[in-house]
Amino acid sequence: MATKNSTSSRKSNVAPLRLVKNKIALDVVSALEQLLEGARKGEVTGIAFACTLKRERFFTDVAGTCYTNPSYARGIVAFLSDELADLVHGMDENGIR
C-alpha cells in the first residue's frame, strides 16, 4: 500500500529568499557631491568627518585646514556634537522628531 507524503499537499509558510539591493542614501550622495563641488572650487578648505558604514561600522578622518589647525577642527566638531544632541533631545520615545 502506497502512503502519501504528508508534506507534499501542504503549502509552506516560509517565504522564499530574495536578494535585496543595497539601499543608496540619496541624501548622503547629495551632501558628498556638494562638498566635492565646493572643494573643487576652493571653497571647502578642510573637513573633519565621521562616516557610518554597513554592519554598524564607522570611520573618522580629517584633511586640509582641519588637519593643519586641529584646535579649530575640535571647535567645529563640538558644534556638530551640539547639533546632534539637539536632534536627540528633539525626538520622542519612538525616535521621531
3-state secondary structure the chain: CCCCCCCCCCCCCCCCCCCCCCCCCHHHHHHHHHHHHHHHCCCCCEEEEEEEECCCEEEEEEEEHHHHCHHHHHHHHHHHHHHHHHHHHCCCCCCCC
Q: What percent of the chain shows pLDDT beyond 90?
A: 64
- Across residues 59-81, what is the average pLDDT? 97
Query: What is the reported pLDDT for 13?
Result: 74
Query: What is the reported pLDDT for 61?
Result: 97
Query: What is the reported pLDDT for 3?
Result: 53
Q: What cell was used for 33?
A: 557631491
**pLDDT(14) > 90:** no
Q: What is the pTM of this model?
A: 0.67
Burial of 64 (0-12, 13-18, 19+ CB in 10 A): middle
